[in-house]
């Protein structure tokens, strides 16, 4: 038998890390913690006569071994059972009962799944990291610079702000939705009126104006000059402290000064122009305006508008900015907050930072840089599919409660395991991220995982 002769003088013993630890720990976190977090977000279900509260959940053991599953062509999976508290409001009676929620594929120690008897892997996805990103792009035809802010939550709808040549800050509360002035949102989430918003943005700013264009210099009319305006010979044309009027620009034109960077004090002109575009006067009108954007053909009531604004802006179960986006927002704006939603202070910080980007005080973000991207692991991907299915379970349970008599309602009778199980089977069977494992050689298999 051949022997290997080791002639090294120094013996090195460096333990190799488990290269699959990220995937395995991610899945285990989903199984042991993530399911509970999802169910806590979705429940309770509250109706006129019945309230259903989530209590706990348990993870069962696989019914077959991996080898048996491969042999008979089935899925290696575990059952998820949930314990719920059923409260009958009319009688005050309380019951705790269990229901089967789903059958979830179980990850093997080698990071693979057995789906219908075949080994599959869920590949990790490189995505844009949650947070707030500031960019600008120059319009070739007009020469104006357009500014864009992309707001990405950990979970929920992206929002996008933009500022064009009309100097109005618009926001889209959901991709593809009609845009509206951002000050409408500010009023909807806490600011009482225009004056309260303006006070947040009194500052010194530099504005590049064309003295031959009223549209250009209109944004600084009525503002206080923060420094002297001089001609090419150093002669003071307009003194510091002057309240700028149209006559001020006539003086500049007489001096043949056609373009000038004016430093002024006052309310930021982007905010002023946005408020001019904003036709709402208070919080109630702002909420109604937002409702009209989402439901343009429906009759609007203040109660319905308040519910909609709460759902899209203040409910972390729908749009959550925690933990990644909250960490990134706090770091960018040098603040310490632990809110799971975007607060009015967050919006003020976003607008203030955007103004600083315009002024050249802050830099833009490179949204395609790897520093602004992160890996989406198998646990997150499966968690997202589980939540989609759980929302279907909640809706069907609510419908079942509505049509059944209170005395006929039990936890097993209103819950079905088909929705979550079906959602997961569709993901593992159809998604591009779920693939048959590469088995050409051990290194190819490890790389694929």
CATH number at residue 102: 3.90.1100.10
Nearest to 149 by CA among 374, 311, 357, 375: 357
Per the structure, the complete domain to which residue 208 belongs is given by 202-267
Nearest to 367 by CA among 125, 134, 139: 134
Q: Give, for 181, the enclosing helix (H) or strand (E).
A: strand 180-181
Q: Clarify whether residues 227 and 290 are in a common domain.
A: no
Strand residue runs (E) in 89-140: 94-105, 113-115, 118-122, 125-128, 131-138
pLDDT at 165: 85
Q: Clarify whether residues 363 and 253 are in a common domain.
A: no
pLDDT at 13: 67
Rounded Cα distance, 200 and 192, in Å: 13
**Given 356, 372, 388, which residue is the final one in a domain?**
372
67 token code pair: 């080898």
Asked if residue 16 belongs to a domain, the reply is no
**301-336 pLDDT, tens digit each:** 999 999 999 999 999 988 999 999 999 999 999 999
Q: Clarify whether residues 393 and 361 are in a common domain.
A: no
283 token code pair: 């919080």
CATH number at residue 183: 3.90.1110.10
Asked if residue 15 belongs to a domain, the reply is no
Asked if residue 175 belongs to a domain, the reply is yes
Which residues in the chain come in under a pLDDT of 50?
none
Q: Clarify whether residues 143 and 229 are in a common domain.
A: no
Q: Clarify whether residues 312 and 182 are in a common domain.
A: yes
**396-418 pLDDT, tens digit each:** 999 999 998 888 899 999 998 89
* Total domains, the chain: 3
Instruction: Report the DSSP beta bridge partners of residue 118.
Output: 115
Asked if residue 10 belongs to a domain, the reply is no
Nearest to 270 by CA among 177, 165, 365: 165
Asked if residue 319 belongs to a domain, the reply is yes
Q: Are 89 and 50 in contact (CB under 8 A)?
A: yes
CATH number at residue 209: 3.90.105.10
Q: Are 90 and 409 in contact (CB under 8 A)?
A: no
pLDDT at 67: 94
* Stated pTM of the model: 0.77
Asked if residue 8 belongs to a domain, the reply is no
Nearest to 325 by CA among 183, 153, 117: 153
């Amino acid at each position: 038998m051949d022997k290997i002769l080791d002639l090294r003088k120094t013996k090195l013993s460096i333990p190799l890390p488990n290269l699959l630890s990220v995937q395995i720990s991610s899945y285990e976190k989903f199984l042991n913690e993530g399911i509970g977090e999802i169910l806590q977000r979705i429940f309770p279900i509250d109706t006129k006569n019945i309230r259903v509260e989530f209590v706990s959940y348990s993870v069962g053991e696989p019914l077959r071994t991996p080898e048996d599953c491969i042999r008979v062509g089935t899925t290696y999976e575990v059952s998820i059972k949930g314990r719920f508290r059923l409260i009958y409001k009319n009688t005050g009676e309380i019951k705790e009962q269990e229901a089967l929620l789903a059958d979830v594929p179980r990850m093997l120690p080698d990071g693979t799944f057995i789906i219908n008897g075949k080994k599959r892997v869920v590949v990790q996805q490189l995505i844009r990291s949650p947070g707030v990103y500031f960019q600008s792009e120059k319009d070739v035809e007009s020469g104006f610079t357009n500014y864009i802010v992309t707001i990405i939550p950990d979970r929920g709808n992206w929002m996008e702000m933009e500022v064009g040549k009309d100097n109005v800050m618009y926001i889209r509360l959901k991709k593809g939705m009609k845009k509206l002035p951002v000050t409408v949102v500010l009023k909807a989430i806490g600011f009482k009126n225009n004056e309260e918003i303006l006070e947040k943005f009194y500052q010194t700013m530099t504005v590049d104006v064309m003295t031959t264009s009223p549209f250009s210099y209109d944004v600084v009319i009525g503002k206080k000059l923060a420094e002297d305006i001089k001609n090419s010979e150093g002669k003071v044309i307009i003194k510091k402290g002057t309240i700028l009027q149209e006559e001020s620009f006539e003086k500049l034109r007489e001096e043949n000064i056609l373009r000038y960077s004016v430093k002024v004090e006052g309310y930021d002109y982007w905010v002023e122009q946005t408020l001019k575009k904003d036709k709402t006067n208070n919080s109630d009108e702002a909420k109604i305006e937002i409702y009209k954007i989402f439901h343009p053909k429906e009759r609007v009531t203040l109660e319905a508008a308040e519910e909609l604004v709460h759902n899209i802006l203040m409910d972390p179960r729908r749009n959550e900015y925690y933990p990644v986006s909250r960490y990134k927002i706090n770091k960018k704006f040098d603040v310490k907050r632990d809110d799971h939603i975007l607060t009015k202070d967050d919006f003020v910080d976003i607008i203030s930072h955007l103004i600083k980007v315009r002024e050249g005080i802050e830099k833009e973000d490179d949204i395609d840089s790897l520093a602004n991207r992160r890996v989406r692991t198998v646990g997150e991907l499966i968690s997202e599919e589980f939540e989609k299915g759980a929302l279907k379970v909640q809706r069907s349970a609510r419908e079942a409660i509505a049509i059944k008599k209170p005395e006929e309602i039990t936890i097993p009778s209103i819950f079905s395991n088909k929705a979550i199980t079906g959602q997961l089977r569709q993901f593992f069977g159809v998604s591009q991220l779920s693939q048959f494992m590469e088995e050409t050689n051990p290194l190819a298999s490890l790389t694929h995982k």
